[in-house]
Structure 1
Amino acid sequence: MTLVESHPRTAPASGADQRDASQRLLDSSAALSYDPAVEVDWDADLDPTHFGLNPEWSTLYGTRLWDEMTHQQRVTLTRHEVASIMSTGIWFEMILQQMVLRDQYCTDYATSDFQFALTEIADECRHSIMFARACSKMGIPAYFPTRSSIALGRGFKALASAEVAYGGILVAEEVLDVMQRDWMRGEQVLPIVRTTSKIHVVEESRHMKFARQEMRERIEGASPARRRTSALVIAIAAHLIVSNMVNDGVYAAAGLDPERALAEARANEHHHTLMRSSCAHLMEFLDELGLLTRPALRLYQRVSMV
C-alpha cells in the first residue's frame, strides 16, 4: 500500500520526450559534475570572522536580539544554522535516495530515465558526505530532526510513490537552491560553505529538472481526488522538511537565551519574507499541476512558504 497509487506511464510520444530530457540530463552530468573531495579545500584554516551563511539568511537577522549580539555571536550562530541546514539536507537526501531507488526497482536498465536516476543517487551520496565533512570541519556536531519527524520521515520514504515522492524531493531541493545561490556569492561567508553551496546548486539543478518532469508525467490524467491527496501529502512533507531546517539548539550554541531567541525567530518577518520568495517558483509549479489546494496552502503558510 502506497500513499498514492502509481499509474501507467504516459503515451509513447510523451515517453520519448521524457527519455530525451533524461538523456540531456545525463549528458549535462557527464560534462559538469564535481568531486567534493577534490574541489573543496578541506585543509584550509577557517577565518574566525567569516559567517556560516549570509547574515541576511539568519533566522534572527532583523530582530532586536540580532542588534544586541556581538559579531562573534553572529558568526557562531550562522555557522550552527548552516550546519543544521546541512544536517537536515543529509537526513532528507537519505530519504530521497531510498525513494528513487525503490521507484527504479526492476525498470528498464537501458533507459536514460533509469541511468539518470542512479546518477542522481550517486550525486546525493557525495553531497551527504560533503555536508558531513563541512560540519566536522566547522567543529559542529550533527543536528537531528525531532523524534516525531524522524518517524514520519521513515514512513514517507517507505510509502511515498509517483508524484508524491518526486514532489517531496522537489520541495527540499527548491528551498535550498535559492539560499545556496546567495551563500555561494557571499564574500563574508566561509569558503568551505561557498564551495559546497556551488557544487550543490549546479548538481541539484539537474535533479530539480528530473523531479519536475517525473511529476508532470505521473500526475497526467490523475483524478481530482488523487490530486487533492497528493497535494496534501506533499505539503505535509514540505512542512516536515522546513520546520526541521534550523534546530532550536543553535541559539544556545551561540550563547543566547533559547526561549527569547526562538520567540524572536518565529516572529521574524524578514526571514519569513525570504522564505516566501525562495518558494515562489515552487508554488507556481505546484499550482500548475493542480497540487496547491486550500488544505495544502494552510500547511505551507505555517512555515512561511507562501
Structure 2
Amino acid sequence: MKGAIMARALRPKDRETTAARLLDSSVRNSYDPLLDIDWDAPIAADKGFLPPEKVSLYGTELWDRLTPEQRVELAKHEIGSVASVGLWTEIVLMQLLARYAEGLDPRSPHAQYALTEIGDETRHSIMFGKALTRFGVPAYGPPRLVRRLSPLFKAVVGGAAMFASVLVVEEMTDRLQRSTVDDESIQPLIRMVNRIHVIEEARHVRYAREELVRELLTVRRPMLELHRTVTAVVAVSVANILIHPRVYAAVGIDPRQGRAAALANPHHRATRRWMAEKIVDFLTEVGMIGGPSKLLWRRAGLIG
C-alpha cells in the first residue's frame, strides 16, 4: 500500500524535526486578527464576496432572474455560510487536538505544536465570527442533525480517520479561500481574512498529512476500511453543509428550491469537485480512499 511505503520513508525523528520547523514558522508567520485586520474599514461598494462562478446558483435559471445586487448579496451569504461552518469545524478540531495532545509528552516539539495549532484555531474562530458580524450575515453553521451527531463523532474518532477528516475540512475550504486572496474584485476584508487563514492553515495541513501517513503504518485492513468510511462520511457531510439552504431566502428564493437547483447545477458540482480535488488526490495516494466507501465519494460528486 502506498501509504505504508510513504510512512516508512518518515523516520521517527522526522516527527520532532517537522514540529520544530512548524513552531519556528509559527513564531515568524502568525497573525493576530484583532490587530492585523482593520475591522472598521468600509465595505467596498464595487467589490464582490465570491467569484461569481463559485456561487452555487451560477449558470442556473434562478441565477438569470437575479439582479446584479442580488447576486452580490447571495455571494455574501454563501461566503458567510462557509465561514460559519468553518468556525464550527475549527472548534471541533480544537477539542480533538486537545484530546490528542493530552496523550503526548509535553516536552516534545510535536506536542507543543499541537497546542500551538489550538491557539491558531482559536484566533481563526474569533476572526470568522467578527467577519460574520461585519458583513451582517447569520451564523448559519451546520444543520441541527449534524450538531446532534457531533458529540458521538468526537467521542469515537481518532487515529487515521481523525487526521484525514481534519484534512478534508481544511483543504476543501482552503482551496476556495486561495482563489480569492489575489482577486482584486473581492472585498479587501475577505481577502485579508482568507490570506491569514491560508498562511497559518498550511502549517496545520503539513502536520496532519505527516501524522496521517505515520498512522497508516499500524492500520490493518479491517480497521483501514473503518477509517476510510468515517473519512468518506465526513467528506460528504462537509460538502453538503457548506452552503446552508437559508442563504437563498436572503434573495427571495425558497430555500428548498434554491438547494435543489444548486445540487443539480453542473457548475456547482464542478466547484465541489474542484474544492476536493487536492485532498482526494492525496488521500487516494496514501490509501485512504478505496474499497466500498469510495462509492460515497463518487455519489457526492467529489470524485469522477
Q: TM-score range by the shorter chain?
A: over 0.9
Give the 5 Å matches for 1:123-272.
123-272=120-269
Alignment pair present for 1:301 and 2:298: yes
Distance 1:208 1:187 in 2: 26
Distance 1:196 1:242 in 2: 21
Q: CA 1:256 to 1:107, structure 2 compared with 1: closer, same or farther past 3 Å?
A: same
Farther off after superposition, 27-36 or 196-205: 27-36
Q: For 1:208-261, what per-residue CA distance to the aligned partner results, in whole angstroms no more than 9, with x for missing partners?
A: 010101101111132111111100011111122221111000001122233332
Q: How far does residue 202 in structure 1 lie from its aligned partner after superposition?
A: 0.5
Alignment pair present for 1:24 and 2:13: no
Corresponding residue SS for 2:72:
helix
Alignment pair present for 1:95 and 2:102: no
Q: How far does residue 114 in structure 1 lie from its aligned partner after superposition?
A: 0.4
Contact 2:239 2:272 in 1 (8 A): no
Q: For 1:142-194, what per-residue CA distance to the aligned partner results, in whole angstroms no more than 9, with x for missing partners?
A: 10311111122221122211111111110000101110011112222111111
Corresponding residue SS for 2:293:
helix
Q: How far does residue 25 in structure 1 lie from its aligned partner after superposition?
A: 1.1
Normalising by structure 2, we get a TM-score of 0.93
Q: CA 1:258 to 1:107, structure 2 compared with 1: closer, same or farther past 3 Å?
A: closer
Alignment pair present for 1:286 and 2:283: yes
Q: CA RMSD in A?
A: 1.7
The AA in structure 1 aligned to 2:170 is E
Farther off after superposition, 39-48 or 207-216: 39-48
Distance 2:130 2:166 in 1: 23
Corresponding residue SS for 2:70:
helix
Contact 2:225 2:291 in 1 (8 A): no
Which stretches in structure 2 are left out of the alignment for 5+ residues? 1-6
Distance 1:89 1:117 in 2: 19
Distance 1:257 1:216 in 2: 44
The AA in structure 1 aligned to 2:212 is M
Corresponding residue SS for 1:279:
helix
Distance 1:52 1:301 in 2: 29
Distance 1:90 1:177 in 2: 13
Contact 1:51 1:74 in 2 (8 A): no
Q: How far does residue 289 in structure 1 lie from its aligned partner after superposition?
A: 2.1
Q: For 1:80-136, what per-residue CA distance to the aligned partner results, in whole angstroms no more than 9, with x for missing partners?
A: 001100110011111100001101104211111101101111000000000000000
Structure 2 partner of 1:6: none
Which stretches in structure 1 are left out of the alignment for 5+ residues? 1-9
Contact 1:49 1:75 in 2 (8 A): no
Farther off after superposition, 152-161 or 228-237: 152-161
Structure 2 partner of 1:67: 64
